[in-house]
Chains A and B, each alone.
Chain A
């Protein structure tokens, strides 16, 4: 199993550009989520999905869109990039939404918005 994969690893955008961060998992996990990591802030939840066709907002959803058309994929879209979205983005998945289940994290995407 490849686990949780994320592409690209690095990305530089100009303010106002749009892009999609890709996330895929091959563990047949129901639950997937996106976090952003900023220095001194820990990880903050952006959006999450409890299954195909179901998504919901996390702590910091503004400026981001998600969709979940398949179990495997959970892309994160930046509609109009802003410098405040410069961050490291992590995708994670777990077997179910039950809190006891370990979340598996991807290697991250480092995004810089100029």
Chain B
């Protein structure tokens, strides 16, 4: 069975600081990996996804993530945090062979202070 673990339910950074949100997955088959963002009282929006090819994936709003198979990780980073990045972030995995639904981590709330 697939699973996702997001380390840290709450991350706080200062504006301009590096953002690092951690995600580790468990999957018996090569996975598809996703990061979604949820702003307050809104639905989820795709930030980026890894399906195949280049392991460093660039997404919207300056975010990127690197797929590391040896570490079973897909950490999300942004070089310089902005106040507008404050939101909840979800890592998710799906089974590329069975095409099953997304399995989500429990989420990480990012706070950005000025």
Q: Given the known inter-chain contacts A42-B90, A43-B90, please indicate yes or no for A102 contacting B46, CB distance below 8 A.
A: yes
Q: Which residues of chain A come closer than 8 Å to B46, judged between CB atoms?
A: 102-103
Q: Please determine whether A42 and B99 come into contact, CB atoms closer than 8 angstroms.
A: no
Q: Which residues of chain B come closer than 8 Å to A90, judged between CB atoms?
A: 43-44
Kindly specify which of A11-19, A66-74, A75-83, A104-112 makes contact with the partner chain.
A104-112
Q: Please determine whether A99 and B96 come into contact, CB atoms closer than 8 angstroms.
A: yes
Q: Please determine whether B32 and A108 come into contact, CB atoms closer than 8 angstroms.
A: no
CA distance A99 to B95 in the complex (A): 6
Q: Please determine whether B43 and A99 come into contact, CB atoms closer than 8 angstroms.
A: no
Q: Please determine whether B42 and A42 come into contact, CB atoms closer than 8 angstroms.
A: no
Q: Please determine whether B95 and A43 come into contact, CB atoms closer than 8 angstroms.
A: no
CB distance from B29 to the nearest CB of A (A): 10
Interface size on B, residues (CB 8 A): 28
Identity of the chain B residue whose Cβ is nearest the Cβ of A108 in the assembled complex: B43
CA distance A48 to B52 in the complex (A): 25
Q: Which residues of chain B come closer than 8 Å to A4, judged between CB atoms?
A: 43
Identity of the chain A residue whose Cβ is nearest the Cβ of B98 in the assembled complex: A99
Name B99's contact: one of A33, A41, A98 (CB within 8 Å). Answer: A98
Kindly specify which of B14-22, B66-74, B76-84, B103-111 makes contact with the partner chain.
B103-111
What 13 additional pairs, Cβ within 8 angstroms, besides A44-B104, A107-B43? A40-B9, A41-B106, A45-B102, A58-B101, A90-B43, A97-B99, A99-B94, A99-B99, A99-B100, A100-B32, A100-B49, A100-B96, A102-B46
Q: Which residues of A contact B (CB under 8 A)?
A: 4, 33, 35, 40-45, 48, 58, 90, 92, 96-100, 102-103, 105-108
Q: List 18 A-B contacts (CB under 8 A).
A: A35-B104, A42-B90, A42-B104, A42-B106, A45-B101, A45-B102, A48-B101, A58-B101, A90-B44, A98-B96, A98-B99, A99-B31, A102-B46, A103-B102, A105-B43, A105-B44, A107-B42, A108-B42
Q: Which residues of B contact A (CB under 8 A)?
A: 9, 31-32, 34, 36, 42-46, 49, 51-52, 90, 94-107
The 4 closest A-B pairs by CB, nearest first: A99-B94, A105-B43, A42-B104, A42-B106
